[in-house]
Amino acid sequence: MSSLRLAAVLLLALTTCAEHHMSRYRLDKRQGGNTNIPILISNWCTETIYPAILTQGGTGPSTTGYTAQPNTNQTVYVSSDWQGRVWGRTNCSFSSNGNSGSACTTGDCGGLQACKGPGAPPATLAEFTLAGSQSQDFYDISLVDGYNLGLAIVLLPNGNQALQSLDPSTTNPSCVASLEGFAASASSYNPYANNQQFLGTSSASPLPFESKQTASTISSWCPWDLQTSPPLAPGDGVYPYPDGSITRPAFDPCISACSKYGDASYCCTGKYNGPNSCSPSYYSKAAKAVCPDAYSYAYDDQTSTFITPSGGGFQVVFCPGGRSTDIIESKGGGAIKHG
């Protein structure tokens, strides 16, 4: 694909994906609110990342992008009616004079450290619509634009008694689709040893984790044509068949089929714009297998959207480690709809 063709497709992808499914939960009339809802952003990765924040409704924080060293936290505040997303950028190099092109390997937003728009795919997204219909908060982990970093969302009660009574094992999803921190043995994985807590939960009510993935499947789940940096062909430049016999890089971001090709059937647009006409693509099926609680395509609502009463804050954790949660499959779709 020529560079001009690729740029056009990526621009289309940004346009079609930037406002995807979460816009369906907006109120017709937004409620006002002070910026008193905390969003705690935590970098549990072993490398420096560059979190970014995009406000799509309500009042967002003044910080829209910054540098996060490993094992650091930063709290930003949003309004009680905020709608927006948080994502992580990788391998960034920002110029004091601004970048004419991309500054980051993944999640770049026009070469700027302080983002003024959505990030370029692929990027794992934490999406929020606060004070949506019936005074509820809607949130999810989205892989609709692709995957670059593991991510978890932890509900913070923020002094709200109604939220303090919720079972945290039904409110805190996690997506781990890369080898960093991945617990390869499902049978022996126990993040609660020695009375430890993990993602806001304890052994009294543990998170359910998916048990089918192995280190091999996690390292190779991304369809070959959707890798952003596929390994070079060995030998005389001819790939052996199947391609899975080639070792992939440890950091292997995966762009979604919609973001790469812009096809209406992949993006749920045009005649495919509807839950009865749009089906998961080959990418969506692969993403859903490794992250069961995450959005994999635009009409994945019933198996991806977490709903709680309004008023709480959230922690967004990059590279949570362990394994992906399997809350909805294990507990049923009704378990994540608290209203």
Q: How far apart are CA 6 and CA 184, in angstroms?
A: 36
Instruction: Supply the pLDDT for residue 243.
Output: 60
CA 46 to chain centre: 18
Instruction: Judge whether 292 and 326 are in contact, CB under 8 Å.
Output: yes
Question: Please, which residues have CB within 8 angstroms of residue 264's CB and are 6 or more apart in sequence?
Answer: 270, 271, 272
Mean pLDDT of the chain: 88
Q: How far apart are CA 130 and CA 125, in angstroms?
A: 16
pLDDT band per the 50, 70, 90 thresholds, residue 248:
confident
Examine the pLDDT at 237 and tell me if it is beyond 80: no
Mean pLDDT of 273-300: 96
Q: How far apart are CA 42 and CA 309, in angstroms?
A: 23
Instruction: Supply the pLDDT for residue 14.
Output: 43
Q: Residue 209 half-sphere exposure, CB side, CA atoms within 13 Å?
A: 28
Find the Cα–Cα–Cα–Cα dihedral 304, 286, 41, 83, rounded to 10°.
Answer: -40
Examine the pLDDT at 88 and tell me if it is beyond 80: yes
Instruction: Supply the pLDDT for residue 2.
Output: 33
Instruction: Supply the pLDDT for residue 4.
Output: 33
Examine the pLDDT at 19 and tell me if it is beyond 60: no
Examine the pLDDT at 249 and tell me if it is beyond 50: yes
Instruction: Supply the pLDDT for residue 290.
Output: 98
Find the Cα–Cα–Cα–Cα dihedral 226, 230, 235, 239, rounded to 10°.
Answer: -10
Instruction: Supply the pLDDT for residue 242.
Output: 55
Instruction: Supply the pLDDT for residue 6.
Output: 35
Instruction: Supply the pLDDT for residue 234.
Output: 66
* DSSP character string of 281-310: -HHHHHHHHH-TTSB-STT-GGGT-EEEET
Question: Please, which residues have CB within 8 angstroms of residue 85's CB and are 6 or more apart in sequence?
Answer: 22, 53, 54, 56, 118, 125, 126, 127, 128, 142
Instruction: Supply the pLDDT for residue 157.
Output: 95
Higher pLDDT, 131 or 59: 59
Output the CA–CA distances (angstroms, integers) from residue 67 to 48, 85, 293, 298, 337, in the order listed.
7, 17, 28, 30, 34
Instruction: Supply the pLDDT for residue 288.
Output: 98
Instruction: Supply the pLDDT for residue 214.
Output: 96
Mean pLDDT of 16-33: 52
pLDDT digits (tens, 9 = 90+) for 139-161: 999 999 999 999 999 999 999 99
Whose structure tokens read 């959005």?
295
Mean pLDDT of 107-128: 96
Higher pLDDT, 265 or 2: 265
* DSSP character string of 175-241: E--SSTTB---TTT--TTGGG--BTTB-TTSPPPB--S--HHHHHH-S-GGGBSSPPPPPTTT---S
Question: From the CA atom positions of the chain, what is the Rg in Å?
Answer: 19
Extract the tokens encoding 282.
């080959």
CA nearest to 143, candidates 300, 308, 339, 323: 300
Q: How far apart are CA 80 and CA 97, in angstroms?
A: 35
Pairing label, strands 313-318, 37-43: parallel
Mean pLDDT of 198-211: 97
Examine the pLDDT at 23 and tell me if it is beyond 50: yes
pLDDT band per the 50, 70, 90 thresholds, residue 241:
low
Instruction: Supply the pLDDT for residue 302.
Output: 82
Instruction: Supply the pLDDT for residue 209.
Output: 98
Instruction: Supply the pLDDT for residue 94.
Output: 92
Q: Is 334 exposed, middle or buried (0-12, 13-18, 19+ CB in 10 A)?
A: exposed
Mean pLDDT of 258-280: 95
SS3 label, residue 154: strand
Instruction: Judge whether 287 and 140 are in contact, CB under 8 Å.
Output: no
Sketch out the chain's domains with CATH numbers. Answer: 34-231+240-331 (2.60.110.10)
pLDDT band per the 50, 70, 90 thresholds, residue 32:
low
Higher pLDDT, 187 or 232: 187
pLDDT band per the 50, 70, 90 thresholds, residue 235:
low
Angle (CA) 209-210-211 rounded to 5° is 110
Instruction: Supply the pLDDT for residue 69.
Output: 98
pLDDT digits (tens, 9 = 90+) for 55-84: 999 999 999 999 999 999 999 999 999 999
